[in-house]
Amino acid sequence: MENNASQSESSTNKESMNSRRLDSGRAEARSSKPKMSRLSRPKAAMAKRQSTPRRPVTGRVSADPGNSDQARIEMCRQQIDREMQPARLAKLAEACARDLPAGPFSDELRRVAIGAKNAMEGQRLAGLSAEVFEDQSGDGFFRESIGKAVRGDKDAAYFLAQSFRHGRAGIEPNPRRMEQWLRFSAELGDGRASWELAEHYNYVGLVADAARFEKRALEQGYRPAVRLPSRGY
C-alpha cells in the first residue's frame, strides 16, 4: 500500500513539473515573438499612403485653395507695384482682376488696366522706348513719377517733361526727352502739355504739328493767357 501511494505521488509531481515547463515554454515563445513597431506598418498601408497625389507647387498663390483671398490680393498688389512697363502692367492687372473675387481691389485693378492701356497708346505715339520707363537716373520723386506715368497719370508725365526741359529732379536737360514726355502727357489728355508741344513745334518750324496740338490743347480745355507768338500757319 505504501509503495502504491509513493508511486502515485511521484507520478503527480512529474505531471505538475511537465505542466509548469509547458507553461514556461509558451511564455518564452510569446515574449520572444517580435512586436510590430510603428515603423513596420503593413506594406498595403504604406503603398496607400505613397499613392496619395500631392498638390503641385506652381509658385502662384491662387493655385493653392488653402490660401486666403487676402494673400492672393497681396501677391497681385506686390507684382503690380513692381511693374514698370505699360503693356505688361495692363496684362497683369487684367489677369489679377479675373482671378480675384469681386470687390474694391478688383475695381482698382480694372482702373489700373485702363490707365496702362492709355499709357501704351501714348508710348506708341510719343515714340518712347521701353527702357525709358525703367530709367533709374534722377531723384526719388523723378522715379516715382515714372511709375505713375506708366499707370496713365498725365500730370506725372508733364512733370517728367519739365524735368527734362529745365534740368530738375536730378536730370540733365534733354530737349528730345522733353518733347517725348510732352507728347506722352498730351496723348493722356493734358492741355498744358499739348499747348507747350504746339509752342515747341512752332519754334522748330513744324507748323502743321503746331496747329494740330494748339487745337488739341483748346479742345482739352486749356485756356492760354495769350495766343502762340509768331505763328507761321
Q: Tell me, what's the pLDDT at 206?
A: 95
Q: Tell me, what's the pLDDT at 24?
A: 54
Predicted structure pTM score: 0.67
Q: Tell me, what's the pLDDT at 196?
A: 96
Q: Which three cell numbers stand for residue 148?
A: 505713375
Tell me the per-residue pLDDT of 146-182, one tens digit each, with 9 for 90 and over.
Answer: 999 999 999 999 999 999 999 999 999 999 999 999 9
Q: Tell me, what's the pLDDT at 16?
A: 53
Tell me the per-residue pLDDT of 47-94, one tens digit each, with 9 for 90 and over.
Answer: 444 443 433 333 344 444 445 888 888 999 999 999 999 999 999 999
- Mean pLDDT within 28-55: 46
Give residues with Cβ within 8 angstroms of 147, minimum separation 6.
Answer: 84, 156
Contact present, 90 and 117 (Cβ < 8 Å): yes
Contact present, 116 and 151 (Cβ < 8 Å): yes
CA 145, 146, 151, 157: dihedral to nearest 10 degrees?
70
Tell me the per-residue pLDDT of 197-219, one tens digit each, with 9 for 90 and over.
Answer: 999 999 999 999 999 999 999 99
